Amino acid sequence: MAKQDELVFGIHAVNELIKRAPERFIELFLLKGREDERLMTIVNLSKKYGISTQLVSRKVLDEKSEGEQHQGVLARITQGRTYTENDIDGILAQAKEKNVAPFLLILDGVTDPHNLGACLRNADAAGVQAIIVPKDNAARLTATVRKVAVGAAETVPLVQVTNLVRTMKHLQDSGVWIIGTAGETENCLYDEKLSGPMALVMGAEGKGMRRLTRETCDQLVKLPMAGSVSSLNVSVAAGICLFEIVRQRRT
């Protein structure tokens, strides 16, 4: 596979990508002998857009997906757009044009691709306009992330920035209030006002946010934990926090 090519697998991820960017498909591999409705939807879409398809064995798909759950479909596509700090002002401007308050998710040190994929899915459902991550020590947009995100990787920009703290300060200068999650604070998520232009910061499981990231936040909040477990999976916690912000915005 050429450096400028990417792999994407999983029914939802491939289906969504065909709908949004059929021109990116180089070749599509389908499991020979599988003809159920979900896979036939992809077959029909590929015919509609003239995408080259090959029927292959499960062994071939397993090898190409390196053991990941491909669900009988895998595609080789051209590399997508990479979002950087230079795109942030444009994202904020788009929100203003749509007359909605900026709503962003910042992930500090989240390295697990399954967690990133789940966060993308949460972000899409909550109406988040972009996820911001550092370039280093963070999960990237891979085939596994796309599959877990079930199409959300095509709708929510993943912005990779060189200096996360500098980016946060730029957002603050642009009128975005930054809420960080930290177990040591006394401020409960449900007691705080969470409306207006906002960015939510989630740290890595176990370690949480890095010190400078935490110190740059305008406000820290925590989830009330009633049991013996001290923390939640980052994607679960992100989903809870994002939808509390959604709830407050609706009221």
Q: What is the pLDDT of residues 67-85, one digit of tens each?
A: 788 889 999 999 888 899 9
What's the pTM? 0.89
Query: What tens digit of pLDDT does each residue of 138-159 get?
Result: 999 988 899 899 889 989 999 9
User: Which of 15, 43, 78 marks a domain boundary?
Assistant: 78
Kind and range of the H or E run holding 242: helix 234-250
Q: What is the mean predicted confidence (pLDDT) over 126-132?
A: 98
Check residues 165 and 226 and name the one with the higher pLDDT. Answer: 165
Looking at residue 69, which CATH number applies to its domain? 3.30.1330.30
Q: What is the mean predicted confidence (pLDDT) over 161-183?
A: 96
Same domain? For 55 and 177 the reply is no
pLDDT at 173 over 80: yes
What type of residue sits at position 156?
V
Domain count, the chain: 2
Range of the domain at 238: 83-250
Tokens of 241: 């926090």
Contact of 162 with 136, CB cutoff 8 Å: no
pLDDT at 229 over 80: no
